[in-house]
A = this chain, B = another copy of it.
Amino acid sequence: MRITGTTRVFLIVGDPVAQVRAPEVFNHVFERAGIDAVLVPAQVAPHELDTFVRHALLARNIDGLWLAIPHKTALVPLLDRCDRLGRTAGAVNAARRHADGSLEGALFDGVGFMQALDRFGVATRDRRVLLVGVGGGGVAIATSLAAAGVGRLALFDAVPGRTDVIAARLAQEFGAPVVSADRADPGGYDVVINATPLGLKPGDPLPFDVARVDRDATVVDILMKSQERGIAAHPGYEMLVQQIPLYLRFFGIEAEVDLDEVRALLAR
């Protein structure tokens, strides 16, 4: 990849940011497609996000942001416009500056997750789903599940009361059967999803009791780093892979992408 004075620059903003894989993925995509653009990390503390974002985008060739944890939700109040999924979830993956200086955001995590589940052959339509963890990633998944016609969606989070607001909002926005669960008990569900950070560190406890999972149920873990622990589907990488075309379209970048090449890159 050759960076010159004409290169368009995108930032992925997170705190921490060392763990993000997007620079490898998108710079590979840009290089292969001959796109004169680069994605670089920016580690920005939560209390400085607002001022950083507004001023970093003053640069004429820095016209877009990727958001990483914990900024996916924190960026939403700074947006002038947002797609329906992002607005409902209160989280975005990307933001772009328009010529008039306004900032538009969009959420891809949920769509990427649903497409990843498709690829793994996991159905959620009309099925009973338990989602554990409604942080930035979890709320995006909950929103897309609700939008896609889940049979019943129960939300659990270790932070008390956190799921109530989300359940009510999704029920209202999509007329979807979304409820809060008072325990992370996987019994009685067809699909059980871990969207907590548990599993990022070796020795982390499981977010729910795997022994209580129904016989024919599917367990899904969105963590990219999670170890195999009797868990059926790991759409973490695939979620990211599925989002690549969505990012490119959002930023108006026309590029042919070989997703299998990206899968190989992420598996390295």
User: Which chain A residues have a beta carbon within 8 Å of chain B's beta carbons?
Assistant: 1-7, 9, 11-21, 23-24, 27, 38-45, 48, 51-52, 54-56, 58-62
Contact = CB atoms under 8 A, between A and B. Distances in A.
Given A4-B23, A52-B55, A55-B55, A9 B61 contact: no
Contacts of A19: 5
By CB atoms of chain B within 10 A, which of A15, A16, A18, A59 has the most?
A59
Nearest to A17: B5
16 contacts: A3-B23, A3-B40, A5-B17, A5-B23, A5-B41, A7-B40, A7-B41, A9-B42, A41-B61, A44-B59, A44-B60, A45-B60, A51-B55, A52-B59, A54-B55, A56-B56
B43 A40 contact: no
Contacts of A5: 12, 14, 16-21, 23, 41
Contacts of A7: 23, 40-41
Contact of A61 (B38, B43, B52, B60): B43
A39 B6 contact: no
Contacts of A4: 18, 20-21, 23-24, 41
A2 to B, nearest CB: 7
Nearest to A6: B18
A195 to B, nearest CB: 20
B42 A62 contact: yes
A66 to B, nearest CB: 11
Contacts of A51: 55, 58
A27 to B, nearest CB: 5
A3 B38 contact: yes
A3 B18 contact: no
A69 to B, nearest CB: 12
B39 A61 contact: no
A52 B38 CA distance: 19
A117 B161 CA distance: 71
A223 to B, nearest CB: 15
Contacts of A17: 5, 61
Given A52-B56, A55-B51, A24 B3 contact: yes
A43 B60 contact: yes
Contact of A38 (B16, B24, B40, B60): B40
A24 B52 contact: no
